[in-house]
Amino acid sequence: AQSVTQLGSHVSVSEGALVLLRCNYSSSVPPYLFWYVQYPNQGLQLLLKYTSAATLVKGINGFEAEFKKSETSFHLTKPSAHMSDAAEYFCAVSESGGFKTIFGAGTRLFVKA
Amino acid sequence: GAVVSQHPSRVICKSGTSVKIECRSLDFQATTMFWYRQFPKKSLMLMATSNEGSKATYEQGVEKDKFLINHASLTLSTLTVTSAHPEDSSFYICSARDSRLVASTDTQYFGPGTRLTVL
């Protein structure tokens, strides 16, 4: 069975500071990994995804994530936070070629001026 | 890019009534759509997988007679909450997979969600 653990339900950073949102996964088969962002009362927008190609994945809005198999991690980073980055972020996992996607509990990012 | 719409975006209904939520893929065909439920400040819970032309596959613990899913065309799936009660109040989100893409991309496109409030 697959699962996703996001460490920290809330993360607060200052504008311009590094953003680091942690995600660890569990999967018995090679996983596909995703990061999504959700703004209030909206659906999810895909930030980036890992599908067994390059382990460092670059996404939209300056975000990137690195797949580390040895650590079963897929942490999301951004060098410099912007106020508009304040949102809920979800890490998700699915089996390669599979259909079902399992979401983590989410991490709310706060950006202080 | 691929766009998924949901209608209505917000609905308020009385307890005991049924509510239908539509999920449409606007510029692509989707043989598979997914329905999620999101509680306040919580993650998304997969309710069911909707397959065009066949019965939906429900996740464990989800009542199929309560949440009726119909995927009658390649661009439309509907979720009907039957005999709604206040505990059914939630944010319902659908997603769709583009049938033209190979399975390895595994990208879902999400709708904007429907806020259901049952009084």
The pLDDT tens digits of the residues spanning A60-101 come to: 999 999 999 999 999 999 999 999 999 999 999 987 655 678
Q: Is A56 helix (H, G, I), strand (E, B) or coil?
A: strand
CB A107 within 8 A of CB A21: yes
* Inter-chain residue contact A101 with B91, CB threshold 8 Å: no
Model confidence at B103, pLDDT cuts 50, 70, 90, reads low
Closest-CA residue to A74 (of A12, A28, A26, A2): A26
Instruction: Give the closest-approach CA distance of B45 to chain A in angstroms.
Output: 8
Nearest CA in chain B to A104: B43
Chain B: residue whose CA lies nearest to A4: B43
- The DSSP output letter for A99 is -
Q: Is the dihedral of CA B56, B57, B62, B63 positive or negative?
A: positive
Q: Write down the pLDDT at residue A41.
A: 77
Write the pLDDT tens digit of every residue in B12-69: 999 999 999 999 999 888 888 999 998 877 788 999 998 888 889 999 999 999 999 9
Tell me if A94 and B106 make a contact (CB, 8 A cut-off).
yes
Q: Cα angle at B96 between B94 and B101, to 5 degrees?
A: 165
Contacts of A110 in chain B (CB under 8 A): none
The length of chain A, given as a count of residues: 113
